[in-house]
Each structure stands twice: as structure tokens, then as C-alpha cells.
Structure 1
Amino acid sequence: MGHSQYDPVMQNRTAWNSGKMVGTKRPLTQKQIWAVRFFLDREERLRDRALFDLAIDSKLRGCDLVKIRIGDVVAGAEIRTRSIVIQQKTGRPVQFELTADVRASLLAWLERRGGTVADYAFPSRVDCAGHLSTRQYARLVDEWVTAIGLRRTEYGTHSLRRTKAAMIYKATGNLRAIQILLGHTKIENTVRYLGVDIEDALTIAERTEI
């Protein structure tokens, strides 16, 4: 049973979100993406560079990203140009592209990592047979954004999921395409996720002359 706001016990209780920024996390800009890449390259962190790049291109939720297996992104001796995974949240498949820069960073990491197609691309530090945890992934994202001067309260794992989707939407205004790329079951979810408002709608309408 919950407490009423009028209960004496609640008078001095701190709200769960006190001092925390809640809501949608900001996507990264192109400049911020390259800043993170520069930082990771400078520190020679092959795994983190591959993980960051894959997060941007795949647009996957953290729970799906950390479970990527080598066979999901590798075909023979090459990195795939497209891949498909089953989403944990919806149980539905979602496809994503792997662009040239991302394929290069994945190849560099997997050549060092080794393993078979059945192994996780990003193994756990505790259990080599397991995968990187979502908690550790979130810690890494906090570290990356902090390293380039951003406030980690404003950015998170969903920032990486939203980044490319937001860029595509800004360039095309095609919500249906974004819905497919994010694997959303309803277009309404995509609208909320991108934070589309009336100003966005009017801007898109103004681009169309009849």
C-alpha cells in the first residue's frame, strides 16, 4: 500500500526524483559524436569505440545492444552492412544498417577480441561467457559524455539510441521510417520518443508547397 501525501511519515520524506533530471535524454549532435570518437581513439579504447559506434548506428535499446553476438554483425570474414535482432521488449525483429566507419571500428575490436560467432561481441568483465551488463553500459556512457564536457544528468544510453533517429527525422520529417528503425509498435510512441510537437509539424508543412 502506498502512502498518502497527507500522512505524517511523508512530510519529511525526500521525493525519489529530488535533484535528478528525469524525462527524455538529449540526443548527441554530430560535433559531439566526433568529440566522443576522438576521446576514445586518443585513449586507444577499441572496445568502447566499437560499442559507441554500434549504439549510434543500431539505434537499439541498451538491453538489446549488450546482447549482440559476433554472428549478428559478422558474415564470413567481413562485417555485415545490415543486421537484424529480436527486441527484448517487444519480441519483434528490427533491422539496422552498419555504415563504413562503424564497420571499421567493429572489425578492429573483434580482431582483438577473438571468439566465435556464438560469443557476445562485448563480453562481461566478470564472466567471459556472459555479456556486458546494461548497468556497465550506462556507466560507460556517463564517462564518455562527461569526458567531452557534457552533463551526464542530461544524457544517457537513450541519447545514443535517439541520436541518429533524431538526425534522420530532422532531415526527412518521415516519422514512419523512424518508427520502423526504432522498432516501435505504434507511431504515437515514436512521436513521444522524438519529442515531436506542433512547431515540428508546422515546419515540415511549410517545406511542402502545393
Structure 2
Amino acid sequence: MGYSRFDPGIQSRPAWNAGKAVGTKRPLTQKQIWAVRFFLDREGRLRDRALFDLAIDSKLRGCDLVKIKIDDLVSGAEIRTRAIVIQQKTGRPVQFELTADVRASLHAWLGCRGGTKSDYVFPSRVDRAGHLSTRQYARLVDEWVDAIGLRRAEYGTHSLRRTKASMIYKATGNLRAIQILLGHTKIENTVRYLGVDIEDALLLAERTEI
């Protein structure tokens, strides 16, 4: 049931996006990725480096990223090379790769973090049994982009979700592969999410000689 416009309890409640720039967030470039990593390494922020790296590799929505548990990423004493989670939005599984650099940052963080396999990888600082909130994750992303001189209005948590997907699409033009990696149910959602337009289509066509 939705809220009624006649409900006096919500008439004075501001919209969630009041005063905010809402729209597609830009993906990061390779240079920007390394700039964020340099900043986090310089500051000795093991958790944030692992969170940033996992966000890029997993291509997960924030609500799924913050709920990842140690058992999702660890097999025995090693970080998995591939992992799978059930998406909150669709209820469907999505698989993702964990590259060598990302496994290294996760290994460093988990070695510091400790805990059991049933614990969240990124615990809440308020409730250690809970997970990092999506709101806090968004604040961290704002801080990271600020640190490398980017505008918060143009970047956000979805920038990290889109980054690797956009790079793969530009390199291959394979929308179906991106659809699978992002866990989209429809290819149309992938087209809109990547911002594929007529210019992209023409560039791909020009690369193909018959």
C-alpha cells in the first residue's frame, strides 16, 4: 500500500531527493581508480580499500555489497576467485570474479578484521553484529571522490557498480555479457544503465568490416 497524499503525517516530509542531483552517475576511469587506491593506501585504510576494490569487481548494488559475509568470499584459508550472491532486488543469483589485486586487499582487511565465516565482511561500527549501512557506504564514496578532486554530484555508489561493466562494454560491445554480470533481468535495463546510445551503436558498427 502506498502513502496517501491526504495523510497529514507525511505532508511535511521532504522528498528523499530534495535538493539532490539525481541521474546516471559517471563510471570511474582507470586513472581515477588508481587515484582512489593511492589515497586509501596512503591513509592506511584497509577496510575502505577492500570495500572499494570489491565494489569495482563485484559490480553489486550497494544493498548487496554491504551484506556480503566472509563465507561468501573465503574458501578454507584462501579468497575465492569467483563468488556468488543472491540479489536483494531480484532474488536471483549473480556471480562475479575476484581478481588478484582485489583478493590481496580483501586478504589484508580480513586478516585485520578477524571474525568467523558467518560474520559480515564490513561490519557496522555501531552494532558489530550488523553490517555497514548503505548510507554509510554512500558517505564513504562521497569522501573518496572528494579526495581525488571529483564532484560528488556526478559520482556515487552506482559509479562503482558501473565502472567495470562500462569498461568491458567499451572493450567488447557485448551487452548480453554485461547483462549477466550486472544481474539484470532484461537487456533493455542494461542498455539504459550503461547509457548506450546511437553514437555507441555507430562506433561499434564502424569497427565491423564486411
TM-score by length of 1: 0.92
Secondary structure of 1:153 counterpart: helix
Residue in 2 that maps onto 1:134: 134
**How many pairs align?**
200
Deviation at 1:17, TM superposition (A): 5.6
Map Cα deviations across residues 88-141 of structure 1 (whole Å, 9 max, x no partner): 000000000000000000000000000111100000001101000000000000
Deviation at 1:190, TM superposition (A): 0.1
Residue 206 (structure 1) aligned with residue 198 (structure 2)? no
Residue in 2 that maps onto 1:37: 37
Deviation at 1:188, TM superposition (A): 0.1
Residue in 1 that maps onto 2:110: 110
Map Cα deviations across residues 132-160 of structure 1 (whole Å, 9 max, x no partner): 00000000000000000001111000000
Map residues 113-124 of structure 1 onto 2, 5 A cutoff. 113-124=113-124
Map Cα deviations across residues 58-96 of structure 1 (whole Å, 9 max, x no partner): 000000000000010110000000000000000000000
Secondary structure of 2:152 counterpart: coil
Cα 1:15–1:122 change in 2 (3 A) is closer
Cα 1:16–1:87 change in 2 (3 A) is closer
Residue 84 (structure 1) aligned with residue 77 (structure 2)? no
CA distance in 1, matches of 2:67, 2:127: 14
Map Cα deviations across residues 10-66 of structure 1 (whole Å, 9 max, x no partner): xxxx99866532110000000000000000000000000000000000000000000
Cα 1:157–1:16 change in 2 (3 A) is closer
Residue in 2 that maps onto 1:58: 58
CA distance in 2, matches of 1:49, 1:38: 9
Secondary structure of 2:49 counterpart: helix
CA RMSD of superposed structures (Å): 1.5
Q: Percent identity?
A: 88
Identify unmatched segments of 5+ residues in structure 1.
4-13
Residue in 2 that maps onto 1:100: 100
Residue 183 (structure 1) aligned with residue 183 (structure 2)? yes
Runs of 4+ with >4 A deviation: 14-19
CA distance in 2, matches of 1:114, 1:17: 37
CA distance in 1, matches of 2:166, 2:205: 18
Residue in 2 that maps onto 1:143: 143
Residue in 2 that maps onto 1:8: none
